[in-house]
Amino acid sequence: MSKIIIANFKANGCKDFFNNWFSDFKNDSQNQILLAPPSVYLDFFSQKKLNFELCSQNVSEFEEGPFTSQHTASMLLDLGVKSCIIGHSESRKLLNEEDHQIFEKFQKLNNKKIRPIVCIGEPLEIRENNKVKDYIKKQTEKFHDFEEEIIFGYEPLWAIGTGKVPKLDEIEEAAKTIKEFCGENKKILYGGSINRSNCRDILKLKEIDGALVGGASLNPKEFAMIAQSC
């Protein structure tokens, strides 16, 4: 089964950087490649008519209106965006996003048939105190009664951009926990310090359907190695 591999460029890049990235990225895999540029470059990516799915890094919880700095699900649709990350820990932290707002975003995307990628993940003290299961239960609460397929990004906060990665059995356990609460048909991507050396083992895990790649996606050759490792 093909996996979902997302390049989350975060707030990095410029037109020249991305043009070079496109020429250096060679993909021979059958996996689904999603590119998530900063929102101001979504249209630039869209106009390139690339062979990869365009993914947004966030969306407004509102339909439209006086919400300065926001972009809505209809605007994403207008640009040809097919999927959208929501609830990323950096957005939760910087924009004070809460679970109920993330659920609103989820619904707005569903209404426009854009695939939401719902990010969740525990801080370090939760893992150290063996409370991961309760934490995941709470963070996914609003999705427990959803029968449709949902894509979750499991991204432990302490693993994002730190070079630290959970043990393979911890990743597998977290994925099983999400499925226990939300249903077996859910897809789980892993994110947090994925790179060319650790990707193969992580993507081999039975419960893992793909990866969210931050830092390592800025290097097109390394991102290609990750995309081709499974």
Give yes or no for residue 8 binding ligand PGA (CB under 6 A): yes
Q: Which residue has the tokens 């591999």?
A: 5
**Whether residue 128 lies in the annotated active site:** no
Near ligand PGA by CB under 6 A: residue from 100, 128, 161, 197: 161
**Whether residue 88 lies in the annotated active site:** yes
Near ligand PGA by CB under 6 A: residue from 193, 203, 209, 229: 193
Given 88, 104, 122, 222, which residue is catalytic? 88
End-to-end CA distance of the chain: 10
Near ligand PGA by CB under 6 A: residue from 42, 59, 213, 227: 213
Rounded Cα distance between 220 and 218, Å, is 6
Region near ligand PGA per CB under 6 A, out of 17-25, 53-61, 97-105, 189-197: 189-197
Rounded Cα distance between 213 and 198, Å, is 12
The footprint of ligand PGA on this chain (CB under 6 A) covers a number of residues equal to 13
Residue 41 tokens read as: 């470059």
Give yes or no for residue 229 binding ligand PGA (CB under 6 A): no
Rounded Cα distance between 61 and 121, Å, is 21
Contacts of 22 (CB under 8 A, 6+ apart): 48, 50, 220
Give yes or no for residue 86 binding ligand PGA (CB under 6 A): no
Kind and range of the H or E element at 125? helix 124-128
Instruction: Report, in Å, the least distance between residue 171 CB and ligand PGA.
Output: 14
Instruction: Report, in Å, the least distance between residue 70 CB and ligand PGA.
Output: 21
- Name which of residues 38 to 67 contact ligand PGA (CB under 6 A): none
Rounded Cα distance between 204 and 189, Å, is 12
Print the SS3 string covering 11-27.
CCCCHHHHHHHHHHCCC
Rounded Cα distance between 146 and 43, Å, is 32
Give yes or no for residue 220 binding ligand PGA (CB under 6 A): no
Instruction: Report, in Å, the least distance between residue 47 CB and ligand PGA.
Output: 25
Give yes or no for residue 192 binding ligand PGA (CB under 6 A): yes
Given 61, 97, 122, 155, which residue is catalytic? 155
Rounded Cα distance between 113 and 143, Å, is 17
Residue 53 tokens read as: 């799915």
Give yes or no for residue 198 binding ligand PGA (CB under 6 A): no
Near ligand PGA by CB under 6 A: residue from 214, 222, 223, 229: 214
> Among all residues, which ones are annotated catalytic?
88, 155
